[in-house]
Amino acid sequence: MMFRWILIAGVWAWMVGGGLVWAQSPPAKPGAASPSEAAVVDRILSGVEKTYAGEGFVARFHQQSTLRAMDITDTAEGRLMIKHPDKMRWEYESPEKQLVITNGEDLWIYRPEDNQVMIGSAPEFFKGGKGASFMSDIRRIRKHFGVSLDSTKEGEYYLLKLIPKDEKLDLVSILMKISAATFEVTEVTTANSYGDQTLIRFDGYRFNLEPRDAEFGFDIPDGADVVRIAE
């Protein structure tokens, strides 16, 4: 299970934002949409932003993470709850139960089988595009990434490629698959500079919910082994 969190720590975080990088006169930077793509990309992102505009939502997720150097692939699935902005509750149901909870400031990772709680700073843990935390505020995509249209299948899906504007980050790229019918994000694939990759598929969405703030806090159980995440 620690393998899963090493992987997730390498692919989840500020994948949300607010300003596309489109080339004007100078040559386009990697990940930037060409002027001819700009209107299409803007329309797709606007559709996604409208779909996720409510206060909160829940969805099912199915995750596959691969460490290239070790040739190891790990899978997991569970339930995600989001409350905008930056509040997330990832409930892993298999292969082992596990919770990842953040109120936007604090982070708790709870492994009930070991009665272990890892605690840390959410901004530090999720910084740099780690995983699918852009789901906590879709609008940040425009601010933190250059966005281009990678591919499309008419009437079925769009595939956007996101390149972080901060070139110092480990994250190389994010591919975001979007339903052409509903503008729901159905897949997120992240890749880092080591060739590691995490694919998260989403389904079973329920939008326009109003989750309670209490869902995004955590009381450490009596006798739990508490470990602080290095920052």
Give domain limits for the chain: 2-228
Q: Is the pTM of this model over 0.85?
A: no
C-alpha dihedral, 135 to 177 to 41 to 138, nearest 10°: 0
Residue 215 has pLDDT above 60, yes or no: yes
With pLDDT > 90 as the criterion, what percentage of the chain qualifies?
64
List the single range of 22-31, 53-62, 218-227 with lowest mean pLDDT.
22-31
Residue 7 has pLDDT above 60, yes or no: no
Question: Are the C-beta atoms of residues 122 and 133 closer than 8 Å to each other?
Answer: no
Structure tokens at 230: 């290095």
Burial of 42 (0-12, 13-18, 19+ CB in 10 A): middle
Tell which CATH classification among 3.30.450.20, 1.20.120.1200, 3.40.50.300, 2.50.20.10 matches the domain 2-228: 2.50.20.10
Q: What is the C-alpha separation between 158 and 46, in angstroms, rounded?
A: 13
Distances (CA, A) of 180 to 45, 153, 156, 169, 173: 11, 8, 5, 30, 22
* pLDDT mean over 81-89: 94
